[in-house]
Amino acid sequence: MEYAENILGTIGNTPLVKINHLAKELPCLVLAKYETFNPGNSVKDRMALKMVEDAEADGRLQPGGTIIEGTSGNTGMGLALAAVVKGYKSIFVTTDKQSKEKVDVLKAMGAEVIVCPTDVAPDDPRSYYSVSKRLGEETPNSWYVNQYDNPSNAVAHYESTGPEIWKQTDGKVTHFVVGVGTGGTISGVGKYLKEQNPNVKVWGIDTYGSVFKKYHETGIFDEKEIYPYVTEGIGEDILPENVDFDVIDGFTKVTDKDAAVYTQLLAKVEGMFLGNSAGAAMKGLLQLKDEFNEDDVVVVLFHDHGSRYVGKMFNDDWMRKMGYIE
């Protein structure tokens, strides 16, 4: 009989799916690493489990303990799955720009959720970075995950996502394209792929309002680049330790409007019901068309599921209110 011992055993080994219509103008083969097949419907299940297991192994997470993390939703979901199966409590801190669905899903998994304002500086005591860190210090028998600087985040993708992509493309992958937030996915996958073939190009998708692109190109952390934006799950107003800029060949920025419009297009044209960062990744990929030739095999990673965005990018009233559609 074939079965998993628990839901955590179903994480990983997600399929590659060809992008047909939206990639028509590109000369290359475009394949999506379709991470919604993970049980928590996102790529973050991989690193959440790895971070939990590593914390258990070295004693940071003790039996009956409480997992505490600041999250835009998906890492929280992965951690919540692990907490349920392994018998931990969980407290997640998020921002008021995240979709209501993300908050509701975390509560459905038995987690306590605290919502903080988005439009404050990272070191403001009200920010979700500060609140989650403080709760980690104040809560007895707790473990503050800190996905941004936790090395297990990138290691998870070096050990699983990267090798899967290499094997599934029979070593023919030439480009890897992915939205960048904590940096774990791009850094772990990028490191693995470049070790197999140093000629593989690794491209990050950034958003306007985030510091990554300018910092990568100039080495300058420019606070003037930082302002509130709508796109969820990518971009940062900090420099997480997990972003290994040495394995990234370049960034392209995608507007909030384009990210939202292409999120809808992926569903309506490709039948791919995906999250907001997938729309950004798809549009970013098209912006990079001059980088590709007919022999290339481009893998773009799609982070999460459209069910998290039904009240936003898949709601035409919301899209009209934001000025994204007529």
Domain membership of residue 289 (yes or no) is yes
What positions carry a catalytic annotation? 44
Look at residues 114, 144, 174 and tell me which one is the last residue of a structural domain: 144
Phi, psi (deg, nearest 5) at residue 201? -100, 135
> Of the residues 86, 120, 144, which one is the last residue of a structural domain?
144
Residue 35 lies in a domain: yes
Is residue 218 located within the same domain as residue 119?
Answer: no
1 lies in a domain? Answer: no
Helices 256-270 and 276-287: crossing angle in degrees, nearest 10, is 100
Domain that holds residue 161: 7-42+154-321
Given a cut of 90, is residue 122 above it in pLDDT?
A: no
Q: 1 is written with which tokens?
A: 């009989």
Q: What's 229-272 look like in SS3? A: CCCCCCCCCCCCCCCCHHHCCEEEEECHHHHHHHHHHHHHHHCC
User: Are 57 and 162 found together in one domain?
Assistant: no
* Residue with the two structure tokens 């979700």: 128
pLDDT value of residue 211: 97
Q: 309 and 212, same structural domain?
A: yes
Same domain, 18 and 124: no
The pLDDT confidence band at residue 97, using thresholds 50, 70 and 90, is confident
What's residue 240's pLDDT?
Answer: 97
Residue 185 covered by a domain: yes
28 lies in the same domain as 177: yes
DSSP code, position 118 = S
Check whether residue 188 and residue 262 sit in a common domain.
yes
3-state secondary structure of 66: strand
Residues 12 and 79 in one domain: no
Domain closes at, from 88, 122, 144: 144
Residue 308 per-residue DSSP state: G
Q: Are residues 21 and 117 in the same domain?
A: no
pLDDT of residue 119: 87
How many domains does one find in the chain?
2
Pairwise CA distance, residues 147 & 132, whole Å: 11
Q: What is the mean pLDDT of the chain?
A: 96
**Does the residue 177 lie in any domain?**
yes
Q: What is the pLDDT of residues 32-61, one digit of tens each?
A: 999 999 999 999 999 999 999 999 999 999
158 and 225 both lie in a single domain: yes
Shared domain check, 293 and 258? yes
Distance CA 123, CA 161 (A): 32
pLDDT attached to residue 99: 84
pLDDT tens readout for residues 258-277? 999 999 999 999 999 999 99
Residues 39, 21: contact at Cβ < 8 Å?
no
**Same domain membership, residue 165 and residue 20:** yes
In a shared domain, residues 125 and 198: no
Read off the pLDDT of residues 300-313 as tens digits, 9 standing for 90 and up: 999 999 999 999 99
Which helix (H) or strand (E) element contains residue 90? strand 89-95
pLDDT digits (tens, 9 = 90+) for 155-171: 999 999 999 999 999 99
* Within a domain: 315: yes
Residue 307 in any domain: the answer is yes
Would you say residue 326 lies in a domain?
no
| CATH number of 98's domain | 3.40.50.1100
